Amino acid sequence: MNTQNNNVISLDAVSKRYGTETVVSDVSFNIQSGECIVLVGHNGAGKTTLMKMMLGLTRPTSGNVEVLGANPANNSKIAQHKTLGYLPESVAFYDAMTGSEVLAFYARLKDVSKTACENLLEVVGLEHAAKRRIGTYSKGMRQRLGLAQAMLGSPQLLFLDEPTTGLDPSLRHQFYELIDALHKEGATSVISSHALNEVEARASRFIIMKSGALIASGTLEELYQQASLPVRLKVSVTPGEAPGVAERLGSEVTISKVNNQSLSLSCFDDDKMPLIRRITDLGDVVNDLQIMPPKLDEVYNHFMNGGQS
Amino acid sequence: MKILWILAMKELRDGLRNRWIAAAIIVLGTLALALSLLGSAPTGSIKASPMDISVISLASLSVYLIPLIALMLSFDTLVGEFERGTMMLLLTYPVTRWQVIIGKFLGHLMILFIAIFAGYGGAMLIMTLVTGASMEGWQAYVSMMFSSLILGAIFIALGYLVSVFVRERATAAGAAIGLWLVFVVLYDLLLFGALLIDEGQLIGQQLFSMLMLASPTDTYRILNLSMFDGVSQAAGIAGVASEAGMSSTLLVSVMLLWIAAPLAATLLIFQRREL
């Protein structure tokens, strides 16, 4: 198959146990070149462990991990790849070194020029703190330096573990612009996050993890479909007409709330259009109609609560 | 090769930045100078050159000091990076695990080289300038510095083994002190205790030589005290080593083996280590 060859990363029935504790259990997925995958899950869902296995830092207890056509844990072949960037969760540096010293050290290992280093420091807004010891940096500054080192040498494969924690909104925005720019050049990225909505716009696909197991994966649309959560409608009517309208809509419609002048309804996606037609058929009584698709958080909670919404 | 150099230079810079190298030079230099100046007093009666006396006293000092310095340099180099999390990041760079170990080793070796040659070498220069002593016997002095470097390399490698083996820095520190006590103090004590009790019945010349070679510090001592005639006469052990069949080639080989074995073990453990 043609798509098979496009796999940058492929996991096959991967499990990881520490002693008796199962951290990742039987996870399989493929990631193709150019995708932006978001691993979603609570803390302790196994996201970081999955990433470490993809990076070859940890070996799976069973199953196979393949990254760029090789086993990453085998002789650190993945490490030979100069176009890989990684930002660990709560990144740590050599505290005695200054920001620019550390970045220069990592740049030398990746064969990246000094000017590229200085540019990156500017991009993440650390140019003024570059000559200070990292020991004096705040958490946000360390995170920014972490981003800078992950971006060294325009990586083609990015692993970012909770990348935006400790970043202010403007920098967060800037960070996603950087990721977008890399994606335009064909980069593949794996981003872990404990929230869906933040990365919503960037992600080509989501992988939702819970207690070490993959419980759902797919594009945003696919996730909505899988969750099959009801669409909510809010109908505003002429004051006093609400109970009458509720009666006329009939019993097939789930009505969650009736006020004097508004009704809250919910229905499944397939029933949405017929219902809307029936509401508009009601005529002048209806002043306004608001359609509220399920929120991302609700989709997420749906999966997290084991399928019950 | 380039990666090794980058990693080694980082360790060297760390050593310079935290004044580690400066401190080691001062400690080794002052002690060497003090011993040399004080030690040159008895030379008249036994007609030994001051340089030879210096080699004897410095070799005895180095047996204690060099392993201590080397272990302090190395004990937390791996466990410290595991604990802080910097190793994890480093290994996602185009760096293999053996390059990390060898790179660090080369860096620490450079630090030790600078400390020994600046400290001891500086003391030698001052001594010849101040006392006007002859440079006779300088070969023994220089070879003492080189063998001190090898001794240091052994304990750097042993320090790595401790560092890769334990889970916490505090444990590594304790284990490093234990290692120092065993190799520098306890082993010799036990050996001499055994000799006293044994009174030459079970422990013959052969076994005794083997037991001496089993300790890197004893090997270093024999090497320095027996390699040059002037030194061994002054030390009063002329011909002892050669009688026991211990050539300097053998002694140096044993010491190199003491570097290679812990380094290889460190690498093996590190390869399996999960981060």
pLDDT confidence of A76, banded at 50, 70, 90? Answer: low
CB-CB contact of A248 with A279 (8 Å): no
What average pLDDT does range A2-17 have in this prediction? Answer: 79
State both tokens at A131. Answer: 């000559």
pLDDT confidence of A230, banded at 50, 70, 90? Answer: confident
Is the confidence at residue B100, as pLDDT, over 90?
yes
CATH classification at residue A278: 3.30.2130.10
CB-CB contact of B160 with B77 (8 Å): yes
Residues of B in contact with A57 (CB under 8 A): 88, 91-92, 274-275
**Chains A–B, number of C-beta pairs less than 8 Å apart:** 64
Which among B84, B93, B97 has the least Cβ separation from residue A106? B93
Nearest CA in chain B to A149: B89
Query: Of A24-33, B103-112, B235-244, which gets the smallest average pLDDT?
Result: B235-244
A137 has a chain B CB within 8 A of its CB: no
Which among A76, A105, A108 has the least Cβ separation from residue B91? A76
Is the confidence at residue B82, as pLDDT, over 90?
yes
**Is the same domain home to A241 and A267?**
yes
3-state secondary structure of B254: helix
Residues of A in contact with B274 (CB under 8 A): 57-59
Query: Of A171-180, B10-19, B123-132, B229-238, which gets the smallest average pLDDT?
Result: B229-238
* A83 within a domain of the structure (yes/no): yes
State both tokens at A98. Answer: 């200054």
3-state secondary structure of B196: helix
B169 has a chain A CB within 8 A of its CB: no
How far apart (Å, rounded) are the C-alpha atoms in residues B134 and B141?
13
Which among A58, A79, A101 has the least Cβ separation from residue B92? A79
Report the C-alpha dihedral over residues A191, A197, A200, A206, rounded to 10 degrees: 60
Which among A78, A92, A101 has the least Cβ separation from residue B86? A92
**Is the same domain home to A207 and A239?**
no
What are the pLDDT digits (tens) for B251-260?
899 999 999 9
* A135 within a domain of the structure (yes/no): yes
Range of the domain at A76: 2-225
B34 has a chain A CB within 8 A of its CB: no
Q: Do A92 and B89 touch (CB under 8 A)?
A: yes
Q: How many domains does chain A have?
A: 2
**Is the same domain home to A240 and A171?**
no
Give residues 26 to 55 of A whose Cβ lies within 8 Å of B.
Answer: 52, 55
B268 has a chain A CB within 8 A of its CB: no
CB-CB contact of B70 with B153 (8 Å): yes
DSSP state letters, A59-79: --SEEEEEETTB-TTSTTTGG
State both tokens at B166. Answer: 């334990």
Q: Do B92 and A81 touch (CB under 8 A)?
A: no
Amino acid (1-letter code) at residue A118: E
What average pLDDT does range A268-292 have in this prediction? Answer: 85
Q: How many angstroms away from the CA of B271 is the closest CA of chain A?
A: 8
Average pLDDT in chain A: 85
Q: How many angstroms away from the CA of A110 is the closest CA of chain B?
A: 7
- Exposure string (b/e) for B223-239, b if CB count within 10 Å is 16 or more? bbbbbbebbbebbeebe
How far apart (Å, rounded) are the C-alpha atoms in residues B86 and A268?
50
How far apart (Å, rounded) are the C-alpha atoms in residues B68 and B65?
5
**Is the same domain home to A170 and A68?**
yes
So what's the pLDDT on residue B139?
Answer: 80
Whole-number percent of chain A with pLDDT over 90? 24
Give the CA count within 13 Å in the CB-facing half-sphere of A215.
21
CB-based contacts of A34, cutoff 8 Å, min separation 6: A183, A186, A187, A188, A204
* A240 within a domain of the structure (yes/no): yes
How far apart (Å, rounded) are the C-alpha atoms in residues B243 and B226?
11
What average pLDDT does range A189-201 have in this prediction? Answer: 78
**Is the same domain home to A18 and A166?**
yes
Q: How many angstroms away from the CA of A75 is the closest CA of chain B?
A: 7
What average pLDDT does range B218-236 have in this prediction? Answer: 77
Average pLDDT in chain B: 86
State both tokens at B54. Answer: 């210096």
pLDDT confidence of B133, banded at 50, 70, 90? Answer: low
Residue showing tokens 């080699």: B55
Nearest CA in chain A to B274: A58
Whole-number percent of chain B with pLDDT over 90? 48
**Is the same domain home to A256 and A282?**
yes
B86 has a chain A CB within 8 A of its CB: yes
Nearest CA in chain B to A87: B89
Query: Of A83-97, A101-115, B237-251, which gets the smallest average pLDDT?
Result: B237-251
pLDDT winner (highest mean) among A31-35, A101-105, B56-60, B221-225: A101-105
Query: Of A55-64, B158-167, B241-250, which gets the smallest average pLDDT?
Result: B241-250
Of B151, B156, B114, nearest to B19 by C-alpha is B114
B95 has a chain A CB within 8 A of its CB: yes
CATH classification at residue A34: 3.40.50.300
How far apart (Å, rounded) are the C-alpha atoms in residues B136 and A93?
50
What average pLDDT does range A187-210 have in this prediction? Answer: 82
B16 has a chain A CB within 8 A of its CB: no
Of A177, A204, A225, the residue that ends a domain is A225
pLDDT confidence of B77, banded at 50, 70, 90? Answer: very high
pLDDT confidence of A49, banded at 50, 70, 90? Answer: very high
CB-CB contact of B187 with B215 (8 Å): yes
So what's the pLDDT on residue A3?
Answer: 46
Give the H or E element holding residue A16: strand A7-18
What average pLDDT does range A240-258 have in this prediction? Answer: 79
A76 has a chain B CB within 8 A of its CB: yes
To 5 degrees, how large is the angle CA A249–CA A251–CA A253? 65
Q: Tell me which of A16, A81, A101, A109 to substitute to probe the interface with B (most B C-beta atoms closer than 10 Å).
A: A109
CB-CB contact of B140 with B231 (8 Å): yes
So what's the pLDDT on residue A2?
Answer: 43
What average pLDDT does range B67-92 have in this prediction? Answer: 93
How far apart (Å, rounded) are the C-alpha atoms in residues A157 and A221?
25
Q: Do B6 and A91 touch (CB under 8 A)?
A: no
CB-CB contact of B21 with B115 (8 Å): yes
Nearest CA in chain A to B15: A96
Report the C-alpha dihedral over residues A146, A147, A152, A155, rounded to 10 degrees: 120
Residue showing tokens 């001891």: B120
**Is the same domain home to A79 and A199?**
yes
Which among A52, A91, A109 has the least Cβ separation from residue B275? A52
CB-CB contact of B112 with B69 (8 Å): yes
Give the CA count within 13 Å in the CB-facing half-sphere of A160.
31
What average pLDDT does range A89-96 have in this prediction? Answer: 90
CB-CB contact of A259 with A301 (8 Å): no
**Is the same domain home to A25 and A45?**
yes
**Is the same domain home to A209 and A246?**
no
What are the pLDDT digits (tens) for B145-190?
999 999 999 999 999 999 999 989 999 999 999 999 999 999 988 9
What average pLDDT does range A193-221 have in this prediction? Answer: 83
How far apart (Å, rounded) are the C-alpha atoms in residues B238 and A224?
89
- Exposure string (b/e) for B139-150, b if CB count within 10 Å is 16 or more? ebbebbbebbbb
**Is the same domain home to A44 and A118?**
yes
Which among B3, B14, B275 has the least Cβ separation from residue A58? B275
Q: Which residue has the higher pLDDT, A199 or A307?
A: A199
**Is the same domain home to A42 and A139?**
yes
What average pLDDT does range B189-200 have in this prediction? Answer: 84
**Is the same domain home to A215 and A252?**
no
What average pLDDT does range A252-265 have in this prediction? Answer: 82
Is the confidence at residue B272, as pLDDT, over 70?
yes
* A304 within a domain of the structure (yes/no): no
Which among A56, A75, A94 has the least Cβ separation from residue B86? A94
DSSP state, residue A250: -
pLDDT confidence of A77, banded at 50, 70, 90? Answer: low
Is the confidence at residue B97, as pLDDT, over 70?
yes
Nearest CA in chain B to A80: B94
